[in-house]
Amino acid sequence: MSAEAADPGAPLRRRSRPRIDLRRLGRVALRGPVSRDRLPDAISHVAEAHRAHHPDADLTILRRAYVLAESSHRGQMRKSGEPYITHPLAVTLILAELGAETTTLTASLLHDTVEDTEVTLDQVKEQFGDEVCYLVDGVTKLEKVDYGAAAEPETFRKMLVATGNDVRVMSIKLADRLHNMRTLGVMRPEKQARIAKVTRDVLIPLAERLGVQALKTELEDLVFAILHPEEYEETRALIAAAKSPDAPLETIAENVTHTLRDAGISAEVLIRPRHFVSVHRVRRKRGELRGTDFGRLLVLVGEDADCYAVLGELHTCFTPVISEFKDFIAAPKFNLYQSLHTAVVGPEGAVAEVLIRTHRMHKVAEAGVVALGNPYAQDPAAPPQTEPSDERADPTRPGWLSRLLDWQESATDPDTFWTTLRDDLAQDREITVFRTDGGTLGLPAGASCVDAAYAQYGDRAHTAIGARVNGRLATLSTVLSDGDTVQPLLAQDTASGPSPDWLDHARTPAARIAITGWFSDHPDEAKPDPETVGSASSGAQSEPSSEREAPGAAAPARGRSGPRPTGVVVDDPNAQVRLAGCCTPVPPDELTGFVVRGGAVTVHRRECPAVTAMQEIGRAPVAARWADGEGRESDAGCRVTLVAESFGRPRLLADLTEAIATADAAIVSATVEPPSEQRVRHTYTLRLPDAAGLPGLMRAMRDVAGVYDVSRAQHPAPAG
């Protein structure tokens, strides 16, 4: 695989560094030791790139690291036929061009010495210090001899834990994988595909989350070429055909340059070609590509205020496409990215996307955490730390990484960890919600009150009964939005546990693992299948089940380990049967069922609105009836959701609760909506010992003063 695959726009770049000839470097590396007063020729390119970002850097330690790496790897060859030392040299050059500081470059030169040579960590520590030793140890793979099939997931776990203490560990790993992907063509096709899939599922999302776009985009193109060769070649041909000296982007770039110059704004206007995967995505989205779809304009300025000045001029002198405007300066992405995005209409109706950022923002956008240097360097102006700490506070550690480090401790099984890690990394957007005590919680987009409860309270969230979102009572299934204030409500009964339905609303691995763990410890309860812990990813990325598509239908309780006794018989005797939470059927209700994802049959009352919605979308009903024709459930009793409409008054909730208890019914969950025009709506999910007691219970609730109606629920029941 040539590096050209990941650089489709190379001819359009205004400034570029020539590609390094690794075979020539290999020959230089084998020339033997050099005098102590000069730098080895083999790392002169690294030194040049490093000094471009750090003019005052001391290169002595790089020289010593290269001498140790070259002597240790001497005689080893890569599958491509090059001396092995060319690999750590190439990895170090990638990091140097991104602006990595000296410690990172030192560790990258040595990153394979402990794994592939006789050099030990103690030797690295003795010669280069604790930090370099930590970084080298962080990227060193675990031995297959010791871990077997678990070696790969456990190696990634080890790297992620090390990254939690020092983000530079993952920077080295990403550069290491990039160079390996560039030279993957010498491998067997099946091994290329396996490595490419792991890169796609784990390393590319990590590069995105750490903001290292320069590595992410090239990795995407290399993976694209291996896993989708035909589409890659089609995209390559489209890009080649679109290159023209009179391309519409060139014209718009000249107009923008003149406009900003006339306005007295000092700015650099560049054409930023889209990489292969980006062009492919645009093509899939729009069908037919426009001439301006092969690149975007990049406007670089000196100060933050200049970004908004440029935006004002562009929107004044060109016709803006308002729907394309995004402000990632005022609200940066969770991966440190900052920029203004807009689009303007140029001559002859050509639409050009424009990115506006400062030079510093551009450096961070390209290199992410690599551009931040050493996050642990002491500020000379800061007061000395009086008490040493075992853990280093990492100012660059994002919330998603902290959450990952928390849940991985509970995922002791390597397969569960590996599956859950891929699903967690697939959720590529993050929201921030506020706690009532003034703190914040970082959660993936699509997270619910269930996730907020476990993020705030850990295992205590097993007793959650609801939440307040922005001051209003809400069910645990409520999906949170960026900026919401959430207050999970916990029951006083510490012996209560979660509902299996919570897995339908949990988006964070921490919540899914905790819920599944509780059921593992309580086998007598309805237990979810442990596989759902890893497979329940964001709803935006999985095909919704038929019940989710139906208005008014309840989310199915996925992953039961076996059919829970329902007293219901369906046509397929081997099917798992469950009662719908939206209408909670009880004997002698007329029944009908529908097959949902996984082959389970969810049974509804025939008059449930979800039944009509299912039939409208073409879902075939499944015949269902109560067992033995008696209309009675098993010894577990029956579950029903009732809605009580009442006028507001003091002690109303207490009187209703007493009436329910007198009827020998147990409250599974309860929700009280805020009063509206002096009217209050109570929703109770109850468990009765026998369905025959339901009419009496409803009469007892109607007899409570102020209650004017009690009915069976016809809408999704609250998560309990």
Catalytic residues: 115-116
Q: In this structure, is the dihedral angle defined by the CA atoms of residues 365, 367, 369 and 372, taken in order, positive or negative?
A: negative
Cα(first)–Cα(last) distance of the chain, in Å? Answer: 53
DSSP 160-182: HHHHHH-THHHHHHHHHHHHHHH
Q: Which two tokens stand for residue 670?
A: 């309860």
Nearest alpha-carbon partner for 378 in 390, 393, 360:
393
Q: How much is the CA Rg of the chain, to the nearest whole Å? A: 31
Other CB atoms within 10 A of residue 255 CB? 17
Strands 340-345 and 326-327: antiparallel
Residues 6+ apart with CB under 8 A from 486: 433, 434, 435, 441, 449, 452, 467, 468, 469, 480
Under 8 Å between Cβ of 557 and 577: no
Cα distance between residue 626 and residue 631, in whole Å:
5
Cβ atoms within 10 Å of 378's Cβ, excluding its own = 9
The structure tokens 């099946």 sit at: 190
The span from the CA of 686 to the CA of 639, in Å, is 6
Q: How many CB atoms lie within 10 A of CB 465?
A: 22
342 residue type, one letter: T
Rounded Cα gap, residues 114 and 385, in angstroms: 33
Q: Tell whether the torsion through CA atoms of 213, 218, 222 and 228 is positive or negative.
A: positive
Q: Are 561 and 527 in contact (CB under 8 A)?
A: yes
Peptide bond connecting 695 to the previous residue in cis, omega within 30 degrees of 0 = no
Angle among Cα 520, 524, 530 to the nearest 5 degrees reads 30
The three-state DSSP-derived secondary structure of 195-260 is HHHHHHHHHHHHHHHCCCHHHHHHHHHHHHHHHCHHHHHHHHHHHHHHCCCCCHHHHHHHHHHHHH
